[in-house]
Chain A
């Protein structure tokens, strides 16, 4: 889908991209980096709108330096900022944008109706955009990026400004763009965590350099952490503590689930295999406590960078990217 080769972009005073080489295949790919890491610059270059200082890049097998228009015909783009005029309806606006992508008038109307429905806009699509909520506006922005049925879409910070429910809906929609619509996605975010559920592959850039590029499963399934919550009894007024001590006695180290909902009542331990589950079950049964929950907790991508061996991880990541 996308391939860059020691791609650099230097402005008079800053280097936005520094010899970035990355390969992105079909599917949903997250592009993660702090603000100013070079995400938007990369998208601009990939759309053929801004020449790279050095290196080369291909999108859908087309060279960005020479085939910009052909790329833009097959690619959709959803900007990070507001981009909608308030005084027209979503339908009118998306039809216009479809025609700007080269769709004939009738096809533009049909595709607009289809696309708006797929992103979840129904009757309100005939009302002026000015009266929409942030979530609805984001859907219109997404619809204009999808209306011409591109092979690939660039979504720049699509969850910005959304509340948690809106965020989840948007992430679900992004997932569907690939699974249901068959369109590959490059989605940027400065939050590692939110891409975990959505992306097949995550590219992390920092200061214009590649920090890490790997599939999400690599990031999140290196170890399995179990979260346990138990009831208290008369015999053991603090059930959590009793379990921790009992497990400790058997040589299993347990952490407090600080930062999780119900912190203080949640214990975290690393599962070594089947026997860990059995051990936990036996220990709790012996103490006569009730097991409220025992669940696998996947690591969040952010923990890859915040854990104690952060430095090693980073070294490895840089080595990975080469």
Chain B
């Protein structure tokens, strides 16, 4: 082909001063780093995008605000614990995300559509798939990016609590164990919420619908589940309470962590699932994450070009 030809005429050797003024076409014969590099680039671009980095000032406002809102209560708790010389933190590490779930839901609702709906709406997806990366690369990069963003959002306040607890000279072993359990719990939560959020967002090219749909799914399921649990508890059928918890993402996480991560359940009556029941919770949670991945793959197989 004529590439060599244009090279010869338009790209003078190194050190040639006329090079600066030469506006002829230069061909590229440097490295091409291929699929895994492209996937990593998409991951980091999407992760940065989830906090508005590399995007307009306007799109930085909400994620940054939610991040601050997420961390401020932790900072206050720490301040109180230090000031009052308390023996323990007012809130467990595992409980923090449950209490702050509204903020987390809002974050998922705003950032999941940002991550995938834009590519669908502006039909940028075909540009990705006309390049070396494939459906699985795109889905994995987007999934991992949102899950990481959520992990940062949920783990940062735990870190604040942990550092504060150490400053307040609380028991080191105790706090470290609690912190570790909290991290495992929010990791599961991040994967679960990212999966659900992305699946919903990937079916709604309009960002507004995506936001509304994600909020609806997360809050309505939680509302329904906690209402039913309350009713079941009042009516004395306490054994049904944990099972009802299977049907909303946040209570699912609650169930898993109260069975395995030493958390006190937030369910009415404070009764979480037993270890055996907890296995079911864990399987459902992992199943949901896998199903989200599968649905995203199916969705993007269709979108293609």
A interface, CB within 8 angstroms of B = 26, 40, 44, 47, 49-50, 69-70, 72-73, 75-77, 79, 81-88, 92, 96-97, 99-104, 107, 111, 114, 117-118, 128, 144, 148-149, 151, 178, 180-184
Q: Which of B24-32, B86-94, B236-244, B280-288 contacts A (4 or more CB under 8 A)?
A: B24-32
> Given A103-B32, A118-B25, A182-B3, A72–B130 Cβ distance below 8 Å?
yes
Contact of B1 among A83, A97, A100, A182 (CB under 8 A): A182
Chain B residues within 8 Å of chain A by Cβ, number: 43
Cβ–Cβ < 8 Å partners of A111 in chain B:
28
Binds A, one of B119-127, B160-168, B224-232, B259-267: B119-127
Stretch from B33-41, B72-80, B176-184 at the A interface: B33-41
Smallest beta-carbon distance B247→chain A, Å: 36
Which one of B131-139, B198-206, B213-221 is at the interface?
B131-139
Cβ of B20 within 8 Å of any chain A Cβ, yes or no, is no
Whether B304 sits at the interface, judged by CB under 8 Å, is: yes
B35 lies within 8 A of A69 (CB): yes
A182, B3: Cα distance in complex, Å = 5
Q: Per-residue CB proximity of B1-35 to A under 8 Å, as 1/0?
A: 11111100000000000000001111110111111
Interface of chain B residues 252 through 305 with chain A (CB within 8 A):
304-305
Tell me if B42 counts as interface (CB < 8 A to partner A): yes
Report Cα–Cα, A104/B118, bound state, in Å.
25
Q: Is there an interface contact between B38 and A101, defined as CB atoms closer than 8 Å? A: yes
Complex Cα spacing A50 to B126, Å: 13
CA distance A111 to B38 in the complex (A): 16
Within the assembled complex, what's the spacing in Å between the Cα atoms of A87 and B45? Answer: 15
**Contact B124 A84, beta carbon cutoff 8 Å:** yes
The docked-state distance in angstroms from the alpha carbon of A92 to that of B33 is: 19
Q: Which residue in B26, B42, B124 is a CB contact (below 8 Å) of A83?
A: B124
On whether A88 and B55 interact (CB within 8 A), knowing A49-B305, A180-B6, A181-B25, the answer reads yes
Leading 7 A-B pairs by shortest Cβ distance: A182-B2, A77-B130, A149-B28, A102-B32, A99-B41, A182-B3, A182-B6
Q: In the complex, what's the smallest C-beta–C-beta distance from B30 to chain A, in angstroms?
A: 5
* Contact indicator B28/A102 (Cβ below 8 Å): no
**What is the bound-complex CA distance between A263 and B100, given in angstroms?**
77
CB within 8 Å for A100 and B38 given contacts A26-B1, A69-B134, A151-B1: yes
B56 at the interface (CB under 8 A from A): yes
A76, A118, A151: the one within 8 Å of B3 (CB): A151
CB <8 Å contact, A149 and B123: no
Whole-angstrom distance from the CB of B111 to the nearest CB of chain A? 15
Cα A83 to Cα B123 with chains together (Å): 5
Determine if A104 and B31 form an interchain contact, defined as CB atoms under 8 angstroms apart.
yes
Asked whether B129 is an interface residue with its Cβ less than 8 Å from the other chain, the reply is yes
Chain B nearest CB from A66 CB (Å) reads 14
A181 touches B45 (CB 8 A): no
Contact B23 A117 (CB under 8 A): yes
Task: Say yes or no: A81-B128 contact (C-beta < 8 A), given A69-B35, A96-B45, A104-B30.
Answer: no
* Cα–Cα distance between A84 and B127 once the two chains are bound (Å): 9
Check A180 against B28 for contact (C-beta < 8 Å). Answer: no
Residues of A within 8 A of B124 (CB): 83-85
CA distance A9 to B55 in the complex (A): 41
The reply on B54 being an interface residue by CB < 8 A is: yes
Tell me, in angstroms, the Cα distance from A104 to B37 when the chains sit together. 9
Partner of B129, one of A49, A144, A181: A49
**B2 contacts which of A26, A69, A97, A100 (Cβ < 8 Å)?**
A26
Closest to B23 in A: A117
Contacts A99-B41, A104-B31, A107-B30; is A84 near B122 (CB within 8 Å)?
A: yes
Find the A residue at minimum CB distance from B59.
A87
Min CB distance, B208 to chain A, in Å?
15
**Could you jot down 24 A-B contacts, CB within 8 Å?**
A26-B2, A40-B305, A44-B304, A44-B305, A72-B131, A73-B34, A75-B130, A77-B126, A77-B127, A81-B123, A83-B123, A84-B124, A87-B56, A97-B131, A99-B37, A100-B133, A101-B132, A102-B34, A102-B131, A103-B33, A128-B56, A149-B27, A151-B3, A181-B27
Decide: B127 and A83 in contact? CB cutoff 8 A: yes
Listed residue (A79, A82, A86, A182) with the most chain B CB atoms within 10 angstroms of its CB: A182
Residues A103 and B28 in contact, CB atoms below 8 Å apart: yes
Known: A50-B304, A99-B41, A114-B26. A85 touches B122 (CB 8 A): yes
A104 to B28, CA, bound (A): 12
CA distance A207 to B298 in the complex (A): 30
Q: Are A181 and B123 in contact (CB under 8 A)?
A: no
How long is the Cα–Cα vector from A103 to B3 in the complex, in angstroms?
18
CB <8 Å contact, A101 and B131: yes
A65 → B minimal CB distance (Å)? 15
Which one, B26, B33, B127, contacts A144 given CB within 8 A?
B127
